[in-house]
Amino acid sequence: MNRFHLFYLLLLLGVMPAHGEDMLTDDDLVARFGVCFDFGCKSKQRINLFESDWASVRALLADSRTAEQERERVGAAIALMESIVGMVSPTGTDRAGNTVPDTDASGQMDCIDESVNATTYLQLFADQGLLSWHRVRERVYRAPLLMDQHWAAQIEDLRSGSRYVVDSWPRAHAMPAVIQTIHEWSANVDPSMLKVRN
């Protein structure tokens, strides 16, 4: 039995993934990381990020000329990462906020899931040298009312020290994350009322 027949036999037996991701070389692998979903990180999945997907993220974030431009690109890069991850995990069905579909809610994310995943993506951007104007900070939490608790990712402007919240929870899957100052976010300012400046 040659290698070609062995591959298809293993594929039919369910031993190998149909997309043949493991046929790529280690040189194609950019990073391995975890994502979580199903509210409160109840479900977790490991993701292999390959150069074929990462190239578009890298191109998007490269050579930002100002901190403001980098923040705008970070919002779009979070959306791109959600799209990449959504192709190989149930998170591709995520809706804005805590909207739960009438049928299968698998893959839906609350603000805990979203903030953990966004922080993971931001740290990956930083580790790959793609953030020139910001550093990744710890997740941020607000609770203006006991029933209105909320988590989000956070970055800090390296020049001014100002902090910005990176919040993908209010928007549907693969839409740009909302970028707000920490003061706006803490005051629960409606993102739709802000000028488009992310």
In 10 A of CB 113, how many CB atoms? 26
What is the model's pTM? 0.79
**Domain assignment present for 31:** yes
Tens of pLDDT along the chain (198 residues)?
444 343 443 344 443 333 344 444 556 899 999 999 888 899 999 999 999 999 999 999 999 999 999 999 999 999 999 999 999 887 767 666 566 655 667 767 878 888 999 999 999 999 999 999 999 999 998 876 666 788 999 999 999 999 999 998 888 778 999 999 998 888 877 666 555 444
Q: What pLDDT is recorded for position 5?
A: 45
Residue 77: give the domain boundaries. 27-193
Domain count along the chain: 1
**Domain assignment present for 76:** yes
**Domain assignment present for 185:** yes
**Domain assignment present for 45:** yes
**Domain assignment present for 18:** no
**Domain assignment present for 9:** no
Q: What pLDDT is recorded for position 39?
A: 85
CA distances from 21 to 18, 26, 43, 49, 84 (A): 8, 11, 22, 10, 14
Three-state secondary-structure class, residue 185: helix
Q: Can you tell me the distance from the alpha carbon of 36 to that of 59, in angstroms, rounded to the nearest whole number? A: 26
Ranges of beta strands (E only) in the chain are: 29-37, 43-50, 134-142, 150-157, 163-167, 178-181
Angle in degrees, CA 126, 129, 132, rounded to 5: 80
Q: What pLDDT is recorded for position 23?
A: 46
**Domain assignment present for 4:** no
Q: Can you tell me the distance from the alpha carbon of 139 to that of 182, in angstroms, rounded to the nearest whole number? A: 11
**Domain assignment present for 96:** yes
